[in-house]
Amino acid sequence: MEMKLWVSLIVVSAITTTALGDFGGALVKGFYKESCPLAEEIVKHNVEVAVLKDPRMAASLLRLQFHDCFVLGCDASVLLDTHGDILSEKQATPNVNSLRGFEVIDYIKYLLEEACPLTVSCSDIITMAARDSVFLRGGPWWEVYLGRRDSLKASFAGANQYIPAPNTSLEGLIINFKQQGLAIQDLIALSGAHTIGKARCVSFKQRINQPNMLQTFYVDEFKRHSTFRRILRSQCKDSSRDNELSPLDIQTPAYFDNHYYINLLKGRGLLISDNVLVSEDHEGEVFRKVWEYAVDQELFFADFVESMLKMGNINVLTGIEGEIRENCRFVNL
């Protein structure tokens, strides 16, 4: 584990002097250095505590940033509860009974308000927590750009429209990411977040029952693909097990590594939207990148960091836009 963390730091250190500066925009490194010098340390410590209590929380906090940034932008709109004119994104189909980690963000925000009132935004907390979660599971560490402010609204409709469903086609995923200003390479790299975490049976039922088709890069003479589907079918026998969980990465579910891509090449991606990266790529561009990540973990880590920085800059609010919420669940009075 220590070796994996050390390699991760080496990988990212090669990027920090070059690629990172391209995605800062109005955001900057060390934004809270003077106004709240312990901000990043407070977030890191409490994410570590949360992940020690519940290892799955790492994936949940990482997923929280995806679901925030893909709706309105990286503005913590996903954290708002239904109140007054606001209809919470938490109730949207991709999020309800699925998205987690809100209480962890709440507690971190409480501590930061005690230390530095109305200084650290909820959207920056999400960003730092996602980075720290990846690192705690053996993935890369990177310096995040900060200075986001929080939105004054949520978009229930946007959450239903812009967050990809687990059965989305490759074409649908490409279009979805393009709407966010993200390229095909970003789609492939960010999909690697599924190297940690779990999904409910209801999310991959179609994957179990879909007709046999070529989903691997080789002839499946040992029936690995059909065996994998039989295992999933035994876990999700009927609708009474819709909320049963299965790891997104069956090989190394507790570690952030490149096994997600190795699984894809073997037809062992859990979700339909995972497997389409190899089964629906008629041009070969996506498949080639999946193969590269499967054989080169450091390349995956480097590209993942670059894409996370790019995603973290989607439609951010800065300066006098939005506000710094006192409570992440509600806009200020």
The CA-based dihedral angle spanning residues 29, 33, 34, 35, taken in that order and rounded to the nearest 10 degrees = 90
Annotated binding site for heme b: 194
Say how far apart CA 102 and CA 79 lie, in whole Å.
7
Annotated binding site for Ca(2+): 68, 71, 73, 75, 77, 89, 195, 249, 252, 257
Angle between helices 224-235 and 201-209 (to 10 degrees): 140
Task: Judge whether 67 counts as a catalytic residue.
Answer: yes
Annotated binding site for substrate: 164
CA-nearest of 150, 61, 138 to 104 is: 61
Say how far apart CA 88 and CA 85 lie, in whole Å.
10
Angle between helices 57-69 and 39-53 (to 10 degrees): 130
The catalytic position among 45, 67, 259, 282 is 67
Tell me which residue has tokens 């300066």: 319
Annotated binding site: 68, 71, 73, 75, 77, 89, 164, 194-195, 249, 252, 257
3-state helix, strand, coil in the chain (%, to 5): 55, 5, 40
Which amino acids are annotated catalytic? 67
